[in-house]
């Protein structure tokens, strides 16, 4: 029993000296705490504390798992920060557009007439393009008839070049007609969305004025 108490006393004296002399402290996968001037490669990814000469903690180095987790948290924060900034930007743009909409139009009738003017212009452009497309189609029919009747090689060659040019023009006019139809449909959809928005903004303005 006397030797046992001497052993305990010796350990209590030596352990602080060991920890004070050590540079690193870490816990292995079994939960055991180690002190040493170097970390075994097998435990290098577990994280550790760097110690002062007196054994107090100088700094903590995270484990690889903790570092990855912390990095993921930081990435998530950065993404959320970007999302919040984009939302704030969007809200400011929307607020400016709302103010502009109420400033430009005094009532729904003015807004409707503005969009009707756009629709009339789009239809006028479509009609003009269709008229030119018709002229080119008639010209193509005439050229094809002349080409069938032509006997000279040079004459046929010249007519074939003209036919190619007319076909190119027809393609251009047809594409322009399609684009203007798409634009006209876009204006219609935009009108419905803008009118709905204008009604909401007008109602909000009336509510605020009544308070």
Q: Are 150 and 156 in contact (CB under 8 A)?
A: yes
| Cα pseudo-dihedral 134, 137, 138, 144, rounded to 10 | 180
> Does residue 17 register a pLDDT over 50?
no
pLDDT (tens digit, 9 = 90+) per residue, 83-125? 999 999 999 999 999 999 999 999 999 999 999 999 999 999 9
148 and 190: one domain?
Answer: yes
Q: What pLDDT, on a 0 to 100 scale, did the predictor assign at position 21?
A: 53
C-alpha to C-alpha distances, 6 to 9, 14, 21, nearest whole angstrom: 5, 12, 23
> Does residue 9 register a pLDDT over 50?
no
> Does residue 15 register a pLDDT over 80?
no
> Does residue 166 register a pLDDT over 90?
yes
171 and 112: one domain?
Answer: yes
pLDDT (tens digit, 9 = 90+) per residue, 118-163? 999 999 999 999 999 999 999 999 999 999 999 899 999 999 999 9
Q: What pLDDT, on a 0 to 100 scale, did the predictor assign at position 59?
A: 84
Does this model's pTM top 0.75? My answer is no
Closest CA to 105 of 207, 190, 201, 210: 201
162 and 72: one domain?
Answer: no
Confidence label for 7 from pLDDT (cuts 50, 70 and 90):
very low
57 and 67: one domain?
Answer: no
Instruction: Quote the CA–CA distance of 5 and 11 in Å, as a whole number.
Output: 10
Looking at residue 161, the DSSP 8-state letter turns out to be H
Domain count, the chain: 3
Last residue of some domain: 104, 132, 156? 104
126 and 204: one domain?
Answer: yes
Instruction: Quote the CA–CA distance of 3 and 5 in Å, as a whole number.
Output: 5
Please give the residue range of the domain that contains residue 90.
62-104
Enclosing H/E stretch for 99: helix 64-104
């Amino acid at each position: 029993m006397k030797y046992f108490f001497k052993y305990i006393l010796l350990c209590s004296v030596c352990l602080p000296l060991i920890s004070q002399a050590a540079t690193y402290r870490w816990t292995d996968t079994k939960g055991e705490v180690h002190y040493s001037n170097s970390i075994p490669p097998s435990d290098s990814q577990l994280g550790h504390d760097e110690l002062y000469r007196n054994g107090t903690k100088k700094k903590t180095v995270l484990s690889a798992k903790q570092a990855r987790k912390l990095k993921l948290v930081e990435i998530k924060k950065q993404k959320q920060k970007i999302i919040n900034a984009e939302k704030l930007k969007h809200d400011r743009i929307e607020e400016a557009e709302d103010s502009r909409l109420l400033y430009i139009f005094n009532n729904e009738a003015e807004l409707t007439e503005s969009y009707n003017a756009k629709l009339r212009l789009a239809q006028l452009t479509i009609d003009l393009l269709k008229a030119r497309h018709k002229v080119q189609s008639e010209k193509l029919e005439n050229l094809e008839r002349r080409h069938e009747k032509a006997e000279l090689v040079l004459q046929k060659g010249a007519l074939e070049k003209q036919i190619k040019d007319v076909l190119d023009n027809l393609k251009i006019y047809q594409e322009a007609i399609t684009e203007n139809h798409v634009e006209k449909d876009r204006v219609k959809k935009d009108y419905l969305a803008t009118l709905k928005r204008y009604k909401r903004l007008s109602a909000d303005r009336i509510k605020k004025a009544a308070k």
